[in-house]
Amino acid sequence: MRPPIIAGNWKMNCLLNEAADLAAGIRKLLDGFDGVEVVVCPPFTALPAVRQTLNGSRIKLGGQDMHWEPKGAFTGEVSPTMLKDTGCTHVIIGHSERRHILGETNDMVNRKLKAALANDLTPIVCVGELLEERQMKVTREVVEKHVTKAFDGIAAKDAERAVVAYEPVWAIGTGLTATPTQAQEIHHFARNILTRLYNEATAQRIRILYGGSVKPDNIRTLMAEKDVDGALVGGASLKAADFNAIARYKE
Ligand code: PGA
């Protein structure tokens, strides 16, 4: 019912030639593969080069962030229309590195989510707790706040086009992965919040990805959980072979 998504977040990595090589490597391994929806999110500078490399393949392109306004005096920002112009169909919103390193607020995440939906981009909106928050046993409160504020003022018919990524911050880039049970617990909790905000049918349509040290050797058990609908992959998405193995977790 919910087609799985495997999305690669390249973060601030890859010069143009490296990005084109990585995209070519991924294309070679995943061209024609239709087992899951595959998305790659290179840095802005590499979007046109990666698009060219992926042209005609099923692999989709996403931005790592965007501003909510269509254009104007916002030095350094990239608009939804600019992302679409480079061939993006997806955009990551509210990644924890943006929230915690660059000061992105829930209000900004909400505006970006609305702008992505209004521009027909599929938003992958990231939520998740810091290590201290998990230790203080406030994980659910944090996730509830992230989800509720992100979706504030968004109608059900639009919300169902969004994708949520649960990314516990303590698991990102650390090699520590949430156990499948820990992931399922929060995914189920997040889906219940969406049911409360909207209704059962809408919540059942929204895909909830897991992110945080996803690797070829842990993807299968994570994906076996009922409410895990895919993965947002950082480090392992920079190696074509690993990303391919993750996307082909069913094989
Ligand atoms: P990681 O990053 O796979 O390197 O932990 C995931 C993410 O930040 O999206």
| Ligand 1 centroid, distance to 199 Cα (angstroms) | 30
Residue whose pair of structure tokens reads 């992302």 in the numeric block = 83
- Measured from CB, residues less than 6 Å from any atom of ligand 1 are 9, 167, 172-173, 211-214, 232-236
CA-based radius of gyration for the chain: 17
- Which of 41, 96, 104, 213 for a ligand 1 pocket mutation test, highest count of atoms within 8 Å of Cβ? 213
* Cα 115 to the center of its chain, rounded Å: 16
User: What is the model's pTM?
Assistant: 0.98
188 carries an active-site annotation: no
- Check 133, 167, 187, 225 and give the catalytic one: 167
Q: How many helices (H) and strands (E) does the chain have?
A: 12, 8
pLDDT of residue 175: 86
187 carries an active-site annotation: no
Residue whose pair of structure tokens reads 């924890």 in the numeric block = 96
The answer to whether the Cα torsion of 63, 53, 208, 221 is positive or negative is negative
Ramachandran angles phi, psi of 207, nearest 5° = -80, 135
- What is the number of the ligand 1 atom nearest to the C-alpha of 172? 5
- Which of 214, 215, 242 for a ligand 1 pocket mutation test, highest count of atoms within 8 Å of Cβ? 214
If one counts every other C-beta atom within 10 angstroms of the C-beta of residue 87, the result is: 16
Residue-by-residue DSSP string for 14-46: --HHHHHHHHHHHHHHHTT--SSEEEEE--GGG
| Ligand 1 centroid, distance to 104 Cα (angstroms) | 18
Full pLDDT tens readout for the chain, 251 residues: 899 999 999 999 999 999 999 999 999 999 989 999 999 999 999 999 999 999 999 999 999 999 999 999 999 999 999 999 999 999 999 999 999 999 999 999 999 999 999 999 999 999 999 999 999 999 999 999 999 999 999 999 999 999 999 999 999 999 889 999 999 999 999 999 999 999 999 999 999 999 999 999 999 999 999 999 999 999 999 999 999 999 999 99
- Give the bridge partners for 164, in sequence order: 125, 208
Q: Are 32 and 59 in contact (CB under 8 A)?
A: no
Residue nearest to atom 7 of ligand 1 (CA): 234
pLDDT of residue 120: 98
| Ligand 1 centroid, distance to 233 Cα (angstroms) | 5
The answer to whether the Cα torsion of 243, 26, 205, 190 is positive or negative is positive
- What is the number of the ligand 1 atom nearest to the C-alpha of 171? 5
